[in-house]
Amino acid sequence: MDLYSHRVYIESQRTKQDQQVAASLMRCWKVIGIPDFLQFDNELSFHGSNKYPRSFGIVLKTCLYFGIQPVFIPIGEPWRNGIIEHFNDTYNKKFFRRQWFQSYANLKRQSKNFQRFHNEHHRYSCLSGKTPNEFVQRANYNPMTLGPNTRVPKLDYIPDGNIIVIRFIRSDRKLDVFGEKFQVPHDLVYSYVKAVIVTKINALQLYLGEDLVKTFEYQLPV
């Protein structure tokens, strides 16, 4: 879902494999535009590997390649994705559980019909009662999109960019970044912090609000 316009793009996939996720995201960016930020939960396929936490997967690399900043919500706090979780509940109750799909191909086609119906007819109070398509038209909103023939890049390196990880620091003072633990100062206990992986300089910058409070060396694989 595009947070600005509330337009949705629906992709049905058989698995959560990272290659399929990356391909789906790129098809989305060809239609509703390339975002500045892309918010994720902590599903493994989004960031890569728990065994090699700094060897980022194709989803993260693809985001960085196109200048998108991935943002990971705090672990175990799904309400941080409340807007899209609410839409998922609507999709499940109003569409997925209300009909029988003869095949996977039929599910994919019908999902696209639901996508079009939502964008054309669902009205949001935050859009002053407009539908997503009406809002886009009246705002003359023309986001930059990927070209129709753009493919998932084959990357054997980590592009320059920022990866943002939001975390709650508990009494053990441990910052969990994709399974890797970092000890943080005492005064951050029971606070939400923003950890920013700056790939260009191999650094992990830790912020409390807007204040940079600590920097860790974060050497990435060459």
In this structure, are 92 and 29 located in the same domain?
yes
In this structure, are 208 and 110 located in the same domain?
no
Structural domains of the chain, count: 2
Q: 113 lies in which domain range?
A: 18-36+76-139
CA distance 78 to 87: 13
In this structure, are 181 and 97 located in the same domain?
no
Q: Report yes or no on 56 lying in a domain.
A: no
Per-residue pLDDT for 222 more than 90?
Answer: no
In this structure, are 135 and 167 located in the same domain?
no
Cβ–Cβ under 8 Å, residues 123 and 131: yes
Average pLDDT, the chain: 95
Distance, first Cα to last Cα, the chain = 34
- Local structure of residue 21 (DSSP, 8 states): H
Confidence of residue 95 (pLDDT cuts 50, 70, 90): very high
Per-residue pLDDT for 161 more than 90?
Answer: yes
The 10s digit of each residue's pLDDT in 108-143 is: 999 999 999 999 999 999 999 999 999 999 999 999
120-125 contacts at long range (C-beta below 8 A, 24 or more positions apart):
122/6, 124/6
Q: Report yes or no on 148 lying in a domain.
A: no
Per-residue pLDDT for 6 more than 90?
Answer: yes
Which residues lie closer than 8 Å to 173 by C-beta, 6 or more apart?
A: 183, 184, 185, 186, 188, 189
So what's the pLDDT on residue 212?
Answer: 98
The 10s digit of each residue's pLDDT in 19-72 is: 999 999 999 999 999 999 999 999 999 999 889 999 999 999 999 999 999 999
pTM of structure: 0.93
